[in-house]
Structure 1
Amino acid sequence: MSRKVLRLDIETYSGRDIRNCGVYAYTEDEDFEIILLGYAYNDGEVGIVDLTIDEIPEEVLADLTNPDVLKTAQNANFERTCLAKYYGVAMPPEQWRCTMIHGVILGLPASLDAMSEALNLQQRKDKEGKALIRYFCMPCKPTKANGGRTRNYPEHAPDKWKMFMEYCVQDVVVERAISNKLERFPFPPDEQKYWELDQRIVDAGVKIDIDLVNHAIACQEWYQRTLVAQAKRLTGLANPNSPAQLKEWLGKKGYEVTSINKEAISNLLADKSLLPEVREMLKLRQEMSKTSVKKYEKMRHAQCKDGRVRGLLQFYGANRTGRWAGRLVQVQNLPRNYIKDIAEVREDLKMGNYATFRMLYSNVPDVLSQLIRTAFIAEDGHTFDITDFSAIEARVIAWLAGEQWRLDVFRGHGKIYEASASQMFHIPMDEVDKELRQKGKVSELALGYNGGVNALIAMGALNMGLKEEELQGIVDAWRKASPAITKLWRGVENKAKAAIGTRKAQHYKGLTFYYKAGILFIELPSGRRLAYFKAQLVPGKYGDQIAYMGTSEKGWHKQHTYGGKLVENIVQAIARDCLAIALQRIEDAGVKTVMHVHDEAITEVPLEESSVDKLNALLAEPIPWAPDLPLQGDGFSSVFYMKD
């Protein structure tokens, strides 16, 4: 007998904007409520409950917490979190399946409408839904015409409400059609296990130092006011932030400009004959354009009533690789901190004397930017044990390619930058000076995925003091020193093309390439598969190239790939699988992970139980499907989050 499945879709109201605060803070609003619930059992008729007048059927209510009934939804985290809050009961993630995650695992776009369109389903999401959600699910502006109300109820637009109920029903229909379509590719059990772990981590959240957050925002506002006042005194302008006013002022000083964007100001400042007051104003303009508080503002919006921020990570949020992506505060791209005595700087900011703070640290936006990480804090009596995989991508690519000298380095002293320079320039390691180490470092960071001169420049080679004319030589030297890796790029591309062209499985370096139902799959050593939807070979400048449908900043569209990029996807995906295993081991050891960033785990433990060595050992433990992959954990303890 097949398992009983309850398919769900809900519509909700809250006074909070979910885009700013995330679902956890959204449900804590005093006006939060579920207003519609659409549901269906297996392939049965879809039911709809108007919760503004009716109660949920007893059977459905009981099944929400019945471990024998599987609950499914598109973006199940939303339904699970809202239902748990509304009915005041636990919603264990192991009772749920997420069709959104199932779809993105197969290379599909995440949204319900885009996914149904990509699958070419007859059942499609109702396009009118967004307007209806704005009308019924969000506060409205009080006007004379609407009697000054701040919320629209069903009685204010009965026809629209009827349409909204139909919209909710249709979402269940589409979600079920997607689920049925994807059944031929079962949800991988390991990924379900890791999704459940992910849900426990985002449910737990991490505490925010709201005092620091509020002072950072207030300090930036004070600093902006101070700069504007200086600019007004210097120029006499009513609003020195106005581009039009500033252009006019510059024109009167003899500098006709069409733009005052970042690049234009930098070009003007390069003119050594600039009038002193013009130079000073342009520098003020640069300072006024710097902002370092957006992440602080997001923390303040997203903070829950217990002081923690939840929902910071999106499982399988990174296309192709399956890595986690940041949400809300975007923890995956936090600025680095390099200030010494950063604990003292935090306390100086929280004193609230911003004029003194500016005197002490001068570049206020930069200091506030460095303090962002430290706004994440451990609970009283606890500390963060923070550990990450040391140089994991470099280790994985060496292991995958079989680049022996690199593996020897990682099994020994681990100084890959020095060892790389030694190989590239044919000198003993103890003769690698600071300049050569820099060349080794930038090469390691930029060239592993078939990058060239432009990749070195993008990685900051010129800012490191390297000359543009020497970059091609560095590329050539690195590739010559790493023949197994350069061979890996070609091998992966050829096998992927062969799988698409012949429809026959190809095996290479522990990877399996095969084509099924229009999808190019690359099976990793872990057994997980990367998916390239609607993959095909298309004519290119140098012969056939690989094209597929994928999501980027531009939306869902045709993209192209090649050997180096495929290797990058594969290596980052293997690194992600290592992290998933490590996070599971950490939980199994009874340690609570509150956040993870790239290849780093941030755990919260009572002070007396702090043990970074224990955490490092868990990361260094051999991986079952890659016992000879040399891994190393590198960690430290801190009561606030930072880079060591």
Structure 2
Amino acid sequence: MEKIRELSIDLETYSDVNISKCGAYKYAESDQFEILRFGVSINGGPVQIYNLACGDTVPDEILAALSDESITKWAFNASFEPICLSNWLKRHRPEYFYGYSIPEDPASKYLDPSSWKCSMIWSAYLGLPLSLAGAGAVLGLEEQKLTEGKDLIRYFCVPCKPTKANGGRTRNLPQHDSAKWIRFKEYNRRDVEVEMSIQKRLAKYPVPEQIWDEYHLDQEINDRGIALDMVMVENAILFDERSRADLTASMQDITGVDNPNSVAQMKQWLSDNGIETEFLGKKNVAKLIEDTDGKVEDALRLRLQLAKSSVKKYQAMQNAVCKDGRAHGMFQFYDANRSGRWAGRLIQLQNLPQNHMKDLAEVREIVKSGDYDTMELLYEDIPDALSQLIRTAFVARYGYKFIVSDFSAIEARVLAFLADEKWRSKVFAEGKDIYCASASQMFGVPVEKHGINNHLRQKGKIAELALGYGGSIGALKSMGALDMGLTEDDLQPLVDAWRMSNPFITKFWWDIDRAVKTTITRRVQTEVRGIKFMYKSGMLFIKLPSGRLLSYVKPKIEENKFGGESVTYEGIGATKKWERIESYGPKFVENIVQAVSRDILCYAMRILSHCFIVGHVHDELIIECSPGVDLNVVYQQMGRSPDWMPDILLRADGYETFFYKKDD
């Protein structure tokens, strides 16, 4: 066998665990997990298929290469292969398994990700689809993923339903359909070939090493996982069941309907009681409560409590928790290819309900002890309490604590810096409240959070949240401006006041718009305040201060619905399909600001990579550490300005806790 420098790998596997619900880590640690086929190309050569399900063995040289840091391993969605191979090697060929990090680190149970590279991440970096079939189709590859792959996977890779026709078996083996098994071999081979073709097609657009370093750090965080308090999780699910039963019974008593959860039945009951409504969503019900009383109000309040969906998060924890009591694989690197931000997986740390209860620790202990009667006695709205407790199910392991550190107003700081809106940067330098300062700038009077003109702070806040990326009246409404006491007549003056008080940001939007259009139409490089725009081989690239590129596929200038000109490009749109997407200056600014904010978080993650980072959310890091680690040192390190943007004013704050929460 020739000396191995590089492997391209694709595995076909079986497990009784549902990978979409439970994740790859729980899938691969199952006692029933096995590798059926091992497809591999050595140094770009022909693909070899090792049929492990029928007794083939993988050569020792290839097994040794899996733990050899000098040999690059490629796969599409490469996080899957090392997870599977880690478990398989430890079980079948432990002499070839070498973990990484220190024994105290839960990540040490897996193969070192530093020698793995992922063509899906390469695809995402260039704004292409995050599926092998999608990327191959957009790139127009001759080798295409076989379309019957899903059927073959459904047949061989997951349990089957026992029937009379299949003799009551719960799994399909190669001998049950030899023709499909032969086709499955070709599917395995084709996946490796398509993955290699993607690499060749993208070779002139290499991924910078810094992105691979970030990817490897991401894999380490996923390998490490985060501990869950499963006693609390199980009790929360039981509490929710009892609470829902009680609430349903109360609603039946009030309304007399058989199923109070039925929208049709509840709408009829409301109609019978003089209330006509099209919808019974949370916002609609909350508004109806304001205009009702008596038994109608009581029934609507009960419906609002039943609408709390906290139990789904607890069930997601139940699904995801692995044998070590931790949830692994909760972060998808580079999922948002317009900014490069992460997306959440499984439990979705990015969209957990906030907590505002003052006695959070006490109510948490009540749930953990299983004392439902006390819970019912002390808390009128049990679903709301359980919802606020979701974060607290993430815990530091025994003998450790969490340090949670986050950036203060990171996007607002980045936007002010990039646009050179000096008054805003001065506010940040002096540590003042940006909402008060914005209101003061807009209305020309002093505004203090708990003092003079305090009533204007809310207008400053809603304007800050809604208007930084070209938003207007619609953005204010979607941010809840009308629910905050503003009237329709207040909205346009608010938009005008914000834009007049932020002239450099407003100018920045349209400078970016012109630069993008000039680059696309004239095929020349343009630059706005250090942000560079380039066109190459049918791609628009935006070069950020970090050196990272944002990629837009096949950009064009087209007429928009208003009769003006807009930029369009190909990408995954709101429909989750590959389509043409319309954009303009403020939207590109949003992409740029979120991307730079993401790069600043990555810089902090790399500075603190010697710590056990277990989670992160946009502007926040969760670190699991020994009790002696100094909180102040962590957030001072996190607040360091990156060398590629040394003059930006960053501020990080932090707190210590034994369970995750949102600190007020």
Scaled to the shorter chain, the TM-score interval is over 0.9
Q: CA shift at 1:581, angstroms?
A: 0.7
- SS of match in other structure, 1:317: strand
Which of 369, 372, 386 pairs up with 1:368?
A: 386
In the alignment, structure 1 residue 522 sits paired with structure 2 residue 542: yes
> Which residue among 570, 573, 593 is the counterpart of 1:549?
570
1:497-516 equivalence runs, <5 A: 497-516=517-536
Q: 1:615 aligns with which of 625, 634, 645?
A: 634
What amino acid maps onto 1:62 in structure 2?
A
Q: How does 1:49-88 map to 2 (within 5 A)?
A: 49-53=50-54, 54-88=56-90
**Within the alignment, does 1:293 sit opposite 2:294 as a pair?**
no
Q: Please state if 1:559 is matched with 2:581.
A: yes
Q: Confirm whether residue 578 of structure 1 aligns to residue 596 of structure 2.
A: no
Displacement of 1:285: 3.4
Query: How many correspondences in the alignment?
Result: 639
**Residues 1:496 and 2:516 are matched in the alignment:** yes
Contact 1:421-1:432 within 8 A present in 2 as well: no
Q: Which residue in the other structure is 1:628 paired with?
A: 647
Kept after mapping to 2: 8 A contact 1:387/1:633: yes
SS of residue matched to 2:24: helix
In 2, Cα distance between equivalents of 1:127 and 1:17: 22
Matches within 5 A, 1:183-262: 183-243=203-263, 245-246=265-266
Please point out which of 430, 433, 442 is paired with 2:462: 442
Shift in alpha-carbon separation, 1:161–1:353, aligned structure 2, 3 A: same
Determine if the alignment matches structure 1 residue 116 to structure 2 residue 118: no
Tell me which moved more, 450-459 or 99-108.
450-459
Is it true that 1:135 corresponds to 2:155 in the alignment?
yes
Deviations 1:295-319 (A, max 9, x none): 1111111101111111111111112
Aligned to 2:397: 379
Counting only pairs closer than 5 Å after superposition, residues 14-25 of structure 1 correspond to structure 2 as 14-25=15-26
Cα shift readout 1:317-358 (whole Å, capped 9, x = no counterpart): 112100111111111111111111211110122232324313
Quote the offset at 1:264 in angstroms.
6.8
Amino acid at match of 2:171: R
Equivalent-residue separation in structure 2 for 1:398 and 1:283 (angstroms): 43
Residue 234 of structure 1: CA displacement? 3.7
**Aligned counterparts, 1:231-380, within 5 A:** 231-243=251-263, 245-246=265-266, 272=292, 276-380=294-398
In 2, distance between residues paired with 1:389 and 1:258? Answer: 42
State whether residues 591 and 604 of structure 1, in contact with CA within 8 Å, keep that contact through their aligned partners in structure 2: yes
Q: Does the 8 Å contact 1:422/1:432 carry over to 2?
A: no
Secondary structure of 1:290's partner? coil
Q: Is 1:394 equivalent to 2:394 in the alignment?
A: no
Whole-angstrom CA distance in 1 between matches of 2:275 and 2:459: 41
Superimposed CA distance per residue, residues 404-454 of structure 1 (whole angstroms, 9 cap, x where no aligned partner): 111111111232112111211112355752211111121111111111122
d(CA) in 2 for partners of 1:537 and 1:203?
A: 44
Aligned match of 2:490 in 470, 489, 499?
470
Contact 1:3 1:70 in 2 (8 A): no
What is the aligned partner in structure 1 of residue 625 from structure 2?
A: 605
Aligned residue number for residue 28 of structure 1: 29
Matched to 1:405, the amino acid is W
- Asked if structure 1 preserves the Cα contact closer than 8 Å seen for 2:8 and 2:44, the reply is no
Contact 1:23 1:78 in 2 (8 A): yes
Equivalent position of 2:166 in the other structure: 146
Letter in 2 for 1:25: K
For 1:246 and 1:395, how far apart are their aligned partners in 2? 48
SS in 1 for 2:335: coil
What residue is the counterpart of 2:477 in the other structure? 457
Structure 1 residue 232, shift from structure 2 partner: 3.3
Tell me the distance in 2 between the aligned counterparts of 1:108 and 1:597: 24
Give the counterpart of 2:187 among 167, 189, 195: 167
SS in 1 for 2:482: coil
**1:417–1:288 distance in 2 versus 1, CA, 3 Å:** closer
Q: Which residue of structure 1 lines up, in the alignment, with residue 6 of structure 2?
A: 5
Tell me the distance in 1 between the aligned counterparts of 2:297 and 2:356. 29
Q: TM-score, normalised by structure 2?
A: 0.92
Partner of 2:102: none
Letter paired with 2:453: D
Secondary structure of 1:124's counterpart equals: coil
Q: Which amino acid aligns with 1:43?
A: G
- Counterpart Cα distance in 2 of 1:382 and 1:243: 47
- Structure 1 pair 616/259, CA: closer, same or farther in 2 (3 Å)? closer
Q: Is the 8 A contact 1:385 1:611 kept in 2?
A: no
Contact residue 418 and residue 432 of structure 1 kept, 8 A: no
Q: TM-score, normalised by structure 1?
A: 0.95
Q: Which amino acid aligns with 1:362?
A: E
1:640 is aligned to 659
Query: Mind listing any 5+ residue stretches in structure 2 that lack a counterpart?
Result: 91-96, 100-110
Contact 1:234–1:281 (CA under 8 A) maintained in structure 2:
yes
**In 2, Cα distance between equivalents of 1:639 and 1:255:** 48
Q: Report if the CA contact (8 A) 2:614-2:624 is conserved.
A: yes
Alpha-carbon distance in 2 for matches of 1:43, 1:507: 39
CA contact (8 A) 2:7 2:44 kept: no
Deviation at 1:257, TM superposition (A): 7.5
Relative to structure 1, the CA distance from residue 343 to residue 259 in structure 2 (aligned partners, 3 Å threshold; closer, same or farther) is: closer
Q: Quick one: percent identity of the two aligned structures?
A: 46
1:565 aligned partner, one-letter code: K
- Partner deviation per Cα, 1:151-190 (whole Å, 9 max, x = no partner): 1111111111111111111100100000111110111110
Moved more, 331-340 or 487-496: 331-340
* Deviation larger for 168-177 or 55-64: 55-64
**Aligned-partner residue type, residue 479 of structure 2:** M
Q: Structure 1 unaligned runs (5+)?
A: none
What is the CA–CA distance in structure 1 between the aligned matches of 2:640 and 2:287, rounded to whole Å? 53
State the 1:246 CA deviation. 4.8
Deviation at 1:133, TM superposition (A): 0.6
User: Which letter maps to 2:660?
Assistant: Y
RMSD: 2.1
User: Does the CA contact (< 8 Å) of 1:210 and 1:375 recur in 2?
Assistant: yes
d(CA) in 2 for partners of 1:330 and 1:119?
Answer: 31
Three-state SS of the structure 2 residue aligned to 1:219 is helix
2:584 partner amino acid: Y
1:262 is displaced (CA, Å) by 5.5
Q: Say if 1:450 and 1:564, in contact at 8 Å, map to a contact too.
A: yes
Higher mean alpha-carbon deviation, 216-225 vs 406-415, is at 406-415
SS in 2 for 1:625: coil
Instruction: Report the Cα distance in structure 1 between the residues aligned to 2:648 and 2:36, rounded to whole angstroms.
Output: 52
| Aligned-partner Cα distance in 2 for 1:252–1:443 | 42
Change (3 A) 1:262 1:201: closer
